[in-house]
């Protein structure tokens, strides 16, 4: 009987475990391995960073929920994957043999690519913050509380090679809302510095009217911006930026001063995955076919931020394509069906829809986009703003955390609300 090992228990790994459990008979074993013993709902980190959420609100212990569903859990990092030998090595040296390996390890945060950037504990220089993990968001909040006593300029944005722009905008707007509520916004000039070629590009070549809507929102909130920004280094209180023109030539050099900064880094694949021969592209992202299956190893599947997706278009400063939660779940659904098919001796035929859906909170209102498919021209391509998005984002958090607790792989919210928007997770064959 088969042993399925899932490495990484984040937004992709947890639903993968539940869906595979639901589809496979009890004779098959499932083991989840994660470097921490808790699950964190990453999309809520911007709220942690301004104190609108506590750590306990968005983290859950993994073990009890998986055990209840008959899934084994090991809280350890995987240090080595022996793909030809079908086994993984864990941090304590023990090995785990598998029949199928599902890689959902998310990103390695590449702070070290820009000298001075990112938290020291994550390989960075210590001068900018991040909200990519709950620990990082809490570190921002600690500094933010000191900053509020003596406020000054803030820089928010995304480094060269970044792919996750939605949370950078979201965080800029949330911080603006929080400062306005505290009546301190007048003391805090905010500059948005991004590798995107224009505001609203989002790593997707824009979605609907995202350019003019986000520009207008930033103007209304008194934010300045620098696009095509290649941040080259950070020193205490200073971001050094080479701004390129649309042809990729140097347009202007900037030295942007700040008292507090949050810059999202570029992503890479995590070391243990990136080191497997023939598995990944040069940045360590897993090369997969349309069925989420490794091109090199037929019993390895992968989903989430760790998979290789080509950029939607070439930009003067490199940008990547975002991988959002719903897209990740569509990948996971395909993996569960394809492993079940493989075990039954049938061909793997299920494909995720890879629809890009993003809900970005702005504190009091919000912006949502839907890009179906993600590469233009699209069948559905809209970007809308409204208070409903702020509420939908809160609902997304509550439903996702409930789903992790209950072990449902596709609860009501997704089945009915998203279906009503014309959004489904698997391509036609699987419906
Ligand atoms: C700040 C932020 C906000 C976001 N907001 C949204 C949003 O609002 N909506 C949306 O749709 N998307 C959002 N995203 C994008 C995306 O949905 C998230 O990044 C999501 O967490 C990605 O899921 P994942 O499973 O690929 O990776 P993760 O959720 O990061 O999970 C990866 C897991 O693998 C584990 N791991 C890593 N290496 C190893 C190893 N060697 N051994 C064992 N375990 C390992 C990690 O500990 C982690 O638990 C956001 C991203 C960020 C960074």
Closest ligand 1 atom to Cα of 77 = 42
Q: Is 8 in the pocket of ligand 1 (CB under 6 A)?
A: yes
Claim: this prediction has a pTM higher than 0.85:
yes
Asked if 132 is an active-site residue, the reply is no
255 φ/ψ angles, rounded to the nearest 5 degrees: -125, 105
Asked if 280 is an active-site residue, the reply is no
Give tens-digit pLDDT for 376-385. Answer: 888 888 888 8
3-state secondary structure (DSSP) of residue 226: strand
- What is the rounded CA–CA span in Å between residue 224 and residue 213? 15
Name, in order, each residue with C-beta under 8 angstroms of 346's C-beta and a sequence gap of 6 or more. Answer: none
Q: Is 366 in the pocket of ligand 1 (CB under 6 A)?
A: no
Confidence grade of residue 203 (pLDDT, cut at 50, 70, 90): very high
Give tens-digit pLDDT for 105-134. Answer: 999 999 999 999 999 988 999 999 999 999
Distance 267 CA to ligand 1 centre (A): 11
The protein residue whose alpha carbon is closest to atom 47 in ligand 1 is 35
pLDDT for position 359: 85
Closest ligand 1 atom to Cα of 393 = 8
Specify burial of residue 271 (Cβ count, 10 A radius: 0-12, 13-18, 19+).
middle
Give tens-digit pLDDT for 246-265. Answer: 999 999 999 999 999 999 99
Closest ligand 1 atom to Cα of 13 = 25
């Amino acid at each position: 009987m088969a042993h399925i090992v899932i490495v990484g228990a984040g937004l992709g790994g947890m639903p993968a475990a539940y869906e595979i459990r639901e589809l496979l008979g009890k004779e098959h074993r499932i083991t989840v391995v994660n470097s921490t013993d808790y699950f964190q709902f990453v999309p809520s980190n911007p709220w942690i960073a301004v104190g609108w959420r506590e750590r306990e609100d968005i983290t859950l212990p993994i073990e009890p929920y998986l055990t209840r569903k008959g899934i084994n859990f090991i809280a350890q990092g995987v240090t080595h994957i022996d793909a030809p030998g079908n086994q993984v090595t864990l941090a304590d040296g023990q090995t785990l043999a598998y029949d199928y390996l599902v890689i959902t390890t998310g990103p390695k945060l590449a702070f070290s690519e820009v000298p001075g950037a990112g938290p020291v504990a994550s390989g960075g220089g210590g001068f900018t913050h991040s909200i990519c993990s709950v620990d990082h968001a809490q570190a921002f909040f600690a500094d933010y509380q000191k900053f509020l006593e003596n406020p000054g300029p803030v820089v928010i944005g995304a480094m060269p090679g970044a792919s996750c722009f939605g949370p950078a905008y979201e965080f800029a707007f949330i911080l603006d809302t929080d400062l306005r509520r505290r009546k301190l916004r007048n003391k805090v000039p905010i500059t948005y510095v991004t590798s995107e070629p224009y505001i609203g590009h989002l790593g997707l070549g824009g979605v609907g009217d995202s350019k003019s809507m986000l520009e207008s929102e930033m103007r209304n909130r008194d934010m300045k911006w620098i696009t095509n920004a290649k941040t080259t280094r950070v020193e205490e209180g200073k971001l050094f930026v080479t701004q390129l023109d649309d042809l990729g030539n140097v347009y202007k050099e900037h030295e942007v001063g700040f008292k507090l900064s949050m810059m999202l880094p570029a992503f890479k694949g995590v070391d243990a995955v990136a080191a497997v021969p023939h598995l990944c592209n040069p940045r360590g992202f897993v090369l997969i076919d349309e069925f989420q299956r490794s091109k090199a190893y037929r019993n390895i599947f992968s989903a989430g931020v760790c998979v290789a997706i080509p950029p939607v278009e070439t930009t003067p400063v490199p940008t990547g394509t975002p991988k959002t939660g719903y897209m990740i779940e569509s990948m996971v659904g395909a993996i569960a069906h394809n492993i079940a098919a493989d075990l039954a001796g049938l061909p793997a035929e299920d494909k995720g829809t890879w629809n890009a859906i993003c809900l970005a909170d702005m504190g009091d209102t919000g912006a949502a986009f839907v890009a179906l498919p993600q590469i233009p021209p699209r069948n559905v391509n809209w970007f809308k703003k409204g208070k409903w998005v702020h509420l939908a984002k809160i609902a997304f958090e509550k439903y996702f955390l409930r789903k992790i607790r209950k072990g449902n792989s596709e609860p009501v919210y997704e089945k009915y609300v998203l279906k009503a928007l014309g959004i489904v997770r698997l391509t036609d064959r699987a419906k």
